[in-house]
Structure 1
Amino acid sequence: MVEVRHRYATVLGHRVFYREAGPADAPALVLLHGYPTSSRMFRHLIPALADRFRVVAPDHLGFGQSAAPPAEEFAYSFDALTDVTEALLAQLGLERYALYVQDYGAPIGWRLAIRNPEAVTAVVTQNGNGYDEGFVPEFWAPVWAYAQSPGPSTEGAVREALSEDAIRWQYLHGVAEPELVDPDTWAADHREVSRAGLDLVHLALFRDYASNPPLYPRLHEYFRATQVPLLAVWGAEDEIFGPDGARAFAKDLKDAEIRLVPGGGHFLLESHLDTVADEMRAFLGRALS
Structure 2
Amino acid sequence: MKHLLAVMLGCSVLAGPAAAQTTCPAAKSGIAANAVPVIHYRSVKIDSVSVFYREAGPADAPVLLLLHGFPTSSHMFRNLIPLLADRYRVIAPDYPGYGQSDAPDRTKFSYTFASQADIIDKLVTRLGAERYAMYVMDYGAPIGYRLALKHPERVSGLIVQNGNAYDEGLQSPFWDPIKVYWRDHSQNNRDALNGLVTLDITKFQYTDGMSDVARISPDNWVQDQALLDRPGNRDIQLDMLGDYGSNVPLYPQFQAFFRKYQPPTLIVWGKNDKIFPEAGAPPYLRDLPKAEMHILDSGHFALEDKLDVMAPLIRDFLDRKLCK
Same topology, TM > 0.5: yes
Shift of 1:155: 2.1
How many residues are matched?
288
1:132 aligns with 2:153: no
Question: Which 5+ residue runs of structure 1 have no aligned equivalent?
Answer: none
Q: Deviations over 1:91-131 (max 9, x none)?
A: 00000000001111111000001111000000001111111
Alignment of 1:1-289 (within 5 A): 1-262=36-297, 264-288=298-322, 289=324
Note the C-alpha offset of 1:219. Answer: 0.6
Structure 1 residue 276 displacement after superposition: 1.2
Seq. identity, %: 45
**1:44 Cα deviation from its structure 2 partner:** 0.4
3-state DSSP class of the match of 1:272?
helix
Whether contact under 8 Å (1:62, 1:201) holds in the other structure is yes
**Structure of greater Rg:** 2
SS at match of 1:66: coil
Moved over 6 A (4+): none
Deviation at 1:149, TM superposition (A): 1.1
Counterpart-to-counterpart distance in 1, 2:233 and 2:270: 28
TM-score of the superposition, structure 1-length normalised?
Answer: 0.98
Alignment check: 8 A CA contact 1:29 1:97 kept:
yes
Identify unmatched segments of 5+ residues in structure 2: 1-35
Local SS of the residue matching 2:251: helix
What is the RMSD computed on CA atoms of the aligned residues? Answer: 0.9
Contact 1:136 1:239 in 2 (8 A): no
Secondary structure of 1:212's aligned partner: helix
Contact 2:259–2:287 (CA<8 Å) still a contact in 1?
yes
> Partner of 1:190: helix, strand, or coil?
helix
Q: Deviations over 1:222-270 (max 9, x none)?
A: 11101111111000111111112111110001201111002x0000011
- Check the 8 A contact 1:142/1:158 in 2, yes or no: yes
Question: What is the TM-score normalised by the length of structure 2?
Answer: 0.87
Please say if residues 134 and 144 of structure 2, whose CA atoms lie closer than 8 Å, have aligned partners that are also in contact: yes
SS of equivalent residue, structure 1 residue 241? coil
